[in-house]
């Protein structure tokens, strides 16, 4: 049995480890296209802010980790998947055959259709190589424009500010982090950034990035509706989308990502998908969705591997969950934070203290949450949502004071009614 995994990120590496553990006799091959040991994108911001060296970003710290497990590794880019022939074409290398295949190629950054993004000095922030480039150009005092105030944009902000750059953020949406924060919390994050000396323009489009000829300025960004912005470095963080380009002609059904069933198997038997690449069931809505987040990567990598080695394991769906540290302001969102039809909502906001909590209920079950400025016991929100625990009388406690989440959890889950 030969298992081949494309993609050496968290989903791919977790899958390789799981396969090895479950099926010691099988051959396991991991194909990655970056010239680095498997690393974690989550750690890049900390590399950018000098909190860790490059090695600190590595997913596994023993350099021989995969070798010791007897996992074969190929550094190459997969150019084509032939599902029928069970064969992969590689760029510049011999084809590789497989019995079972896992697609764990993650995401690619979205490049907005804007003129002038293809030039030196305009960088994505996605790979370790991107990070190296940003480190090189983000000199103290230089003007940096960050295009996009999404998750990636926010987490690299601290590193940029710490480098002493003059930072301007341009976001198309009407608030910061629109995909994981509601209006109130997105606005609070914006206020927080403004207070830290970062210029933030929401509801603003960059129309083009022009090379500037005027003294010392490298780029001029034309914007709508604000005036043009000068920049020495432009960082593009406009979101990501599943990396599926190499699957054209494979016969695998692609939606937003690789469409999988409850066992994470694609439309082609024997080919599975995990992590950012896969479009599986959203646990809460019952709709298909891509959840490009670390915990889902590890979980689906493991589940896919179990299925690949013949242990049918249902993936009951992944849940949107995010934690974000924007210049020290910590925000969290879970599940259906936007609420559900016929559900109840409770929230509290303290603008001066940058604290916010919002809970969404369906009947007496928690289905979504957003918090700002809360670091204690946040995970319990996940537990409550994902177990669909009936809160009973504790729901009323939360409607009266949503911060009493630990009491509600302990009361509903651990104590007998008293």
- For another protein, the binding residues in 378-417 under the rule CB under 8 A are 378-383, 386-387, 400-401, 403-404, 406-407, 409-411, 413-415
- Give me 411's structure tokens: 């009361």
Q: Is 306 in the site for another protein (CB under 8 A)?
A: yes
Tell me the three state secondary structure of residue 318: strand
* Residue 293, helix vs strand vs coil: coil
CB of 193 to another protein, least distance (A): 18
Q: Does 52 bind another protein (CB under 8 A)?
A: yes
**By CB under 8 A, is residue 364 in contact with another protein?**
no
Q: Which is nearer to another protein, 101 or 381 (CB)?
A: 381
- Cis omega before residue 219 (within 30°)? no
Part in contact with another protein (CB under 8 A); list of ranges 35-43, 204-212, 213-221, 228-236 = 35-43
| Terminal CA-CA length for the chain | 56
Closer to another protein at the Cβ: 158 or 232? 158
Q: What is the DSSP string of 85-126?
A: TTEEEETTEEEEE-SEEEE---EEE---S-BT-SSTTEEES-
Interaction of residue 328 with another protein, rule CB under 8 A: yes
* CB neighbourhood size of 117 (10 A): 18
Q: If we measure between CA atoms, which residue out of 208, 286, 276 comes closest to residue 243?
A: 276
Q: In the structure encoding, which two tokens stand for residue 80, read together? A: 């084509």
Q: Does 107 sit near another protein (CB under 8 A)? A: no
| Residue from the set 215, 216, 286, 418 that interacts with another protein by CB under 8 A | 418
* Least CB distance to another protein at residue 28 (A): 18
3-state helix, strand, coil in the chain (%, to 5): 25, 30, 45
Q: Is 67 in the site for another protein (CB under 8 A)?
A: no
Q: Is 99 in the site for another protein (CB under 8 A)?
A: no
| Closest approach of another protein to the CB of residue 268, in Å | 22
185 scored as a contact of another protein (CB under 8 A): no
**Least separation in angstroms between CB 407 and another protein:** 6
Separation CA 282–CA 264 (nearest Å): 13
For residue 116, state whether it binds another protein (rule: CB under 8 A). Answer: no
Does 58 bind another protein (CB under 8 A)? Our answer is: yes
Q: How far is the C-alpha of 199 from the C-alpha of 223, rounded, in Å?
A: 14
Task: Compose the 233-272 pattern: x for residues touching another protein by CB under 8 A, - for all others.
Answer: ----------------------------------------
């Amino acid at each position: 049995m030969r298992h081949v995994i494309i993609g050496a990120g968290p989903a791919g590496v977790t899958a390789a480890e799981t396969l090895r553990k479950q099926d010691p006799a099988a051959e396991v091959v991991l194909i990655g296209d970056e010239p680095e040991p498997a690393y974690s994108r989550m750690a890049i911001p900390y590399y950018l802010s000098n909190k860790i060296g490059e090695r600190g970003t590595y997913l596994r710290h023993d350099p021989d980790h995969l070798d010791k497990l007897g996992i074969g590794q190929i550094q190459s880019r997969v150019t084509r998947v032939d599902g029928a022939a069970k064969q992969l074409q590689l760029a510049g290398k011999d084809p590789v055959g497989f019995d079972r295949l896992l697609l764990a190629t993650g995401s690619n950054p979205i490049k907005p259709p804007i003129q002038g993004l293809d030039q030196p000095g305009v960088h994505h922030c996605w790979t370790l190589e991107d990070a190296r480039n940003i480190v090189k150009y983000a000199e103290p005092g230089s003007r940096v424009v960050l295009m996009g105030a999404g998750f990636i944009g926010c987490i690299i902000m601290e590193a940029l500010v710490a480098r002493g750059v003059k930072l301007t953020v341009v976001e198309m949406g009407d608030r910061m982090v629109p995909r994981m924060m509601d209006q109130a919390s997105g606005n609070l994050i914006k206020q927080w950034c403004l207070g830290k000396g970062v210029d933030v323009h929401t509801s603003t489009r960059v129309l083009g990035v022009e090379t500037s000829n005027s003294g010392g300025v490298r780029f001029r960004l034309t914007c709508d509706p604000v005036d043009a912005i000068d920049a020495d470095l432009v960082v593009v963080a406009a979101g990501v989308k599943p990396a599926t380009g190499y699957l054209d002609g494979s016969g695998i059904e692609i939606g937003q990502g690789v469409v999988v069933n409850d066992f994470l198997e694609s439309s082609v038997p024997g080919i599975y998908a995990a992590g950012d690449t896969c479009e599986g069931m959203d646990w809460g809505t019952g709709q298909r969705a891509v959840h490009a987040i670390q915990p889902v990567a590890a979980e689906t990598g493991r589940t896919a591997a179990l299925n690949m080695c013949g242990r049918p394991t249902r993936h009951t769906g992944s849940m949107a969950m995010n934690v974000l540290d924007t210049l020290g302001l910590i925000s969290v969102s879970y599940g259906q934070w936007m609420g559900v039809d016929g559900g109840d909502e409770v929230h509290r906001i303290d603008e001066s203290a940058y604290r916010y909590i919002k809970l969404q209920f369906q009947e007496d079950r928690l289905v979504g949450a957003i918090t700002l400025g809360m670091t204690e016991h946040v995970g319990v929100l996940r537990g409550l949502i994902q177990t669909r625990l009936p809160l009973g009388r504790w729901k009323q406690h939360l409607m009266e004071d949503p911060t009493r989440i630990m009491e509600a959890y302990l009361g509903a889950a651990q104590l007998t009614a008293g």
